[in-house]
Amino acid sequence: MRAAAKNCYNRLMAFFDTVAIVGVGLMGGSIGLALRKERMSKHVIGIGRRIEQLRLAENRGAVTEVTTDLRQGVASANLVVICTPVQQVPEFVAAAAKACKPETIITDVGSTKAAIVAACDKALADSKGLWASFVGSHPLAGSERTGVEFAREDLFQGRMTVVTPTDQTRSEATAKVDAFWQGLGSKVVRMSPAEHDAAVAVTSHLPHLIASALAAATPADLLPLTASGWGDSTRVAAGDVELWRQIFLDNRGNTLKALAPFETVLAELRQALEASDGPALARLLQQGKRIRDIVGS
């Protein structure tokens, strides 16, 4: 890293003296653990509704202090990270923005972006710079498990994070959010909220829908015969149902579009099987193998 770039990065890191995390589950807890491991923040404040869960996060070392009072928790923060289900993000962003210092930056980890960013931009539009800034984020990392007990300090290492600024987003705020995720080990790419939602409908939301369908279609009496192939293919179906219900409804249009090419390929596979068409079957299997081999392990 060149000296000028390193100095810029170090200045941005100094911004994160105090980070408040709203919702200290798997994602929020992993952020806290990574922040403390990388020594990016002196104070990591966990904010939530249940003090028992917050104490668990504190005992795990994911946060340095906890509170159930949002206004109190964000008052001294330089950065606030909202780690709630997608439908709740705009509500918490608006509430946090009113309680933060004007120079505070707020970001989130929501798996959809267009509706969240539009609602947050609208909520902050009339603040005339008196409230905090919001920058949308989506780290492409996670697990089918939930809860801070499953949080990992290396969850974001080498993983992509999409940052979704708009014309209303302050450029310096976006740069600091980029630096935040890079500090946690992520590779950062910027996309518009609409581009993000269209892309993840194909790469994230559709796979979850298919995994859930495959699991739901498996007769219970055959489950003892399932092996690693079934397990690998359905792993994400074990994810939080309410969380994914919100994601699918929020990104419904894009997910329906993503279903169309999948249904086409599935129909071609069915046709090849019905016709005992070995060459067509091999071609379709090879197509899938080629794409999977590109991604690797």
Same domain, 162 and 221: no
Intervals of the chain under pLDDT 50: 1-9, 11
Residue 180: the pLDDT is 96
156 shares a domain with 50: yes
pLDDT of residue 143: 80
End residue of a domain, out of 145, 168, 191: 191
Question: Which pLDDT does position 7 carry in this prediction?
Answer: 47
The pLDDT assigned to 296 comes to: 80
Number of domains into which the chain is organized: 2
What CATH number should be reported for the domain holding residue 254? 1.10.3660.10
Domain-ending residue, one of 191, 218, 246: 191
pLDDT at 129: 66
pTM listed for this prediction: 0.90
Residues 67 and 211 grouped into a single domain: no
164 CB-near residues (< 8 Å, 6+ apart): 113, 117, 135, 136, 137, 138, 190, 191, 192, 193, 196
Q: Which domain holds residue 221?
A: 196-295
Chosen domain end from 191, 226, 250: 191
Considering the domain architecture, whether residues 164 and 217 belong to the same structural domain is answered as no
Helix (H) or strand (E) holding 261: helix 252-274
Whether 185 and 213 map to the same domain: the answer is: no
If you average pLDDT over every residue of the chain, what do you get? 92
Whether residue 249 sits in one domain with residue 171: no
The predicted pLDDT at position 1 comes to 42
